[in-house]
Every structure is written in C-alpha cells, then in structure tokens.
A and B are shown apart, each in its own frame.
Chain A
C-alpha cells in the first residue's frame, strides 16, 4: 500500500514493522524464559512426571473431536437443506437459529448448571460438549450456507437427472465441493473448543475429566509459589496449538477470518 522508492524510507518502513512486531513476541519469550528458570529444563520433567498432562490432553482431544463432529455433520446437512432444498418457512428457521449467534456462553451458565446437575451430567465431558457445539453451530451454518449458495444448482440438477437420490447427490456431488469451507469450519471449531475455558471450569471438577485450559490452575494448586512449573505447563499446553498453526497456517487464517466475516 505504501509506495516506497527511496532506500531510506524503505529502511524506515522495515524498522517500523519490526518495532510493532516485537511486542507480540515478548509474552512468548517471557513464557519460555520463565519455564526455564530455577532448575532449568528439568521443570518440564517434573511437570511431566506428575502424570496428569496426558489425561488433560486426551480429554481436550475428545472434547474437540466431539464438538467438531457434531458441528460438521449438523452444519453440512442443515446448510444443504437451507441452500438447495424446499422448506416451508425456511427463513424463519434460519433466523431463529442465527439469533443464537451473539449469545455469550455465560448466559447459559445458570440453567445449564441446574440441568446438568439434575441429569447427572455434572463432571462429564457431555455437559461441556453439548453447549459448546450448540453455541458454535449457528455460525458454522451461516458460513456454510453462504458457501453452498455459491455452488451452482445446475450441478445438483445434473445428478438428479441421472437418477441420483437426494442423499446420493449430497454425498457424491455436494460434499466434495465443500472442502475449503469445511476445513475453515473444522479449524474454527477446533480452536474454540480446545481453548474453551468457562464451561470446563464450571462443569469439570474431577481431575480425571479436566482439559488443558485448566492445567495452569492445577499446577497453581500443586506448586503454589513455583511459577517455573506453572509456566512449563503453559509451554507444554501451547506447543500443540502453535505447531498446528504453523503447519496449517492457511487453514487457520482462513478459518479464523471466516469466523469474523460474513
């Protein structure tokens, strides 16, 4: 956007970029330095030896997988219906769902707490998976419906003329075309469920059920004043997310920005 011809202004621009970017790095530097304080890298060994990390990671993975599965299946089928099939009062259904788009999850806390206790779902991943998926679905449907609208109806007609059923058309013609938006939905849902904190905090008290976002607190409880262990745990939690991002940069950026744009 800036047109820089002179060498001096080019250097200045590069310098401005550097100065603006460095602060983004500082907290990460602090995290790593802090984690290596005291007994150095052995902090990681101590943290790992508590044996809880695999459990927390496994629970987070199950949570994320379950939410992704629900969101993926329901958003794909619903968007196909909304975009390509006849439904009486279609837009009413659509807007009733979209109204849920803006809701902060904390609003659901009291009723979910009461209901989960009554249904004996307290301390189960289900109590977290269901509301998380329900909160993510409206947005996923908005995204995928827009995408489905861009798929030419003629393609589907062609399948119909060849005698394919609706299900076959959906499966063989539509689904293969939706990969880009599907990967955006999956990444967005993955980040939101992996990083979710409030619902796990309220519903998962039992340590064998807890997820990675609750790890720092677990270690605060274990080592009250030893920040190095807490930061070592933070580093271990951050590594998979950062790795996933670096490896699938395009998908992440598309997914998260799709999350912000309509």
Chain B
C-alpha cells in the first residue's frame, strides 16, 4: 500500500512503536552502518597516507631515524631546481601523448575491422587482448631480450632490409623511452580495442545505413559517424591513459631502471629511487605531493571536458 520506495520519506506509520518511527524516515532509518566499513577503511588508509605524505614532505628524514629535521618547503625548492624531476615530468607528458594517440588509433581501427565480418575474429581478439592480463613484471625480462643488441627487434630490422637502424635500443638514451612506449602500446591496445568494439556495437545501424545511402565511403562513415559515436569511450580512455602515465612504474623500473642517465625516469621510479633506495623519504614525499596534485587536477580537467562535450 503506502510503501512506494525505500528512499522516499512519506510513509505514514502503519505500525506502532519503533518500526513506525523508522518508516517515517524512509523504510530504513539509517544506511550508515552499511557504508561505514568501506568508508572508514578507504578514507582512513588513503587520507591518512596523503596527509602523512604532506607532513613528511617538510622533513629531511630517512624514514627510520627517531628524529627528523624539519626543513619547511626545502624539499620543494630542491625539487624545482632538480633537472631529473623536470625530466621525469617531461617523459610522463611525452609518454602519455604518444601512447594514448597510438593506442587510440590502433584500437579504433582494429575494432572497426573486427566489426566487418572478417574471418577468425575470435582468435585475433584473444591475441590482442592477452597482453592486457599479463603482469608487466613478468614481461619485462622478455622485452629486455627483444631490445638487446642480438635481440628480436634488430633481427627483424635486419631481415626487412633496415639493418642500418639496428642498435641496442635500451642502452641508447634517445631510443630507450620510445622502446618503453612500444611496450605500453603492446600491453594496453587490447583494452582500447575491446572498449571501442563494445562502443561500436551501440551505434545505431540506421545511422550507418543512412550514410551508405548517401554514398559515403567507408572512411567517411568511420570518421563522421563511428568516431563521434565513440566519443564517450575516447574520453574515458584519455582519463585512464593519463592516470596510467602518472602511475608508470613497473616497466621503466624493470626494463631500464630509469636509465640510461635518467632518460626513462618517471615520477614513480624517481619517488621509489629517492624514497626507498636512497632513503630521502622527505624528498620522495615532496615529489609525491606534486604527483597527487597532477592526478587530481588531470582527472578534474578531463572530467569537466567530458561534461562540457556531453552537454554541447
């Protein structure tokens, strides 16, 4: 009879006593106990850590000594004068732009092809997606081998007549970063592909039919109908790629250890190097704060762009 929704408030008490009281406030008076465990756990652990990081960033400390020297904003001044810090930022930016662009293009094209009645689509899908489920840490030794002087990369180059390009990719400061980007593209294109594949199934066939009737070619249809139709997916991937770039650690740490000469240093590897390896935990915390600000700012900007685009 009167109980229409758990979340509406107007349910006159039909039973007496405590039950009646609770019904007046929605069927269940208080949902707080249901969210409290998760809330306390997440907010407790993560906010505690974030504020603690903020505090540590004002210290000159190795993380173990009972006393730490307060240095105020000293770590930050040092950081802004640190060329490696700026290099790490630059690498992250380049890494993001390149890997996002390549993955998007590749994933989009692959998804479009798979939607075109090709043979063995399932097999291709599995091959493209498998890298996504493999741990970067497991694949790192494989890629060290591939990029070695006598590795697979150079072997292929020599066999297709590009032998002059062959060299130890990871030992050269100019090619180490692109080599790492290629690993990332290899690993994550499968996800981009699956998402575009799903998004393309949502595009109304009538739209495609109409384009065909207007004699739009395949490429025009793809560009003017399918690509805009996948906009939401592209924005999600932009966000995911941005956060992923900021998180980058496993691959550079394991494949090049940030070298040669910091040419593949990322914020993550630098924080680890400074904080854990060299025990400058205050300095590492200061870099962490910058990373935190970038992550939150980036998420807000992309989120806002998304909302603006959706309402336009």
Contact = CB atoms under 8 A, between A and B. Distances in A.
A59 to B, nearest CB: 14
A13 B118 contact: yes
Interface string B108-152: 011111111111000010111111111111111111011000001
Interface stretch (A21-29, A43-51, A176-184): A21-29
B39 interface: yes
Nearest to B46: A100
Nearest to A133: B41
A166 B110 CA distance: 47
Given A21-B124, A30-B152, A137-B38, A157 B7 contact: no
B275 A113 contact: yes
A100 B42 contact: yes
Contacts, number: 317
Contacts of A99: 296
Of the listed residues B115, B117, B145, the one surrounded by the most CB atoms of chain A closer than 10 A to its CB is B145
A131 B124 CA distance: 36
B41 A104 contact: no
Interface stretch (B48-56, B78-86, B159-167, B173-181): B48-56
A62 interface: no
A204 to B, nearest CB: 13
A1 B141 contact: no
A139 to B, nearest CB: 11
B138 A214 contact: no
Given A34-B142, A231-B142, A256-B191, A103 B6 contact: no
Interface of A: 1-4, 13-14, 16-18, 20-21, 23-28, 30-31, 34, 70, 74-75, 77-78, 80-82, 84-88, 90, 93, 96-97, 99-115, 117, 130-131, 133-135, 137-138, 141, 153-154, 156-157, 160-161, 166, 191, 194-195, 197-198, 202, 212-216, 220, 227, 230-231, 234, 237-238, 241-242, 244-246, 249, 252-253, 256-257, 260-262
Interface of B: 3-7, 9, 25-35, 37-39, 41-43, 45-50, 52-53, 56, 63-64, 106, 109-119, 124, 126-143, 145-146, 152, 186, 189-191, 194-195, 198, 200, 208, 212, 218, 221-222, 226, 232-233, 236-237, 240, 243, 246-247, 249-250, 254, 267-268, 271-272, 275-276, 281, 284-285, 288, 291-292, 295-296, 298-299
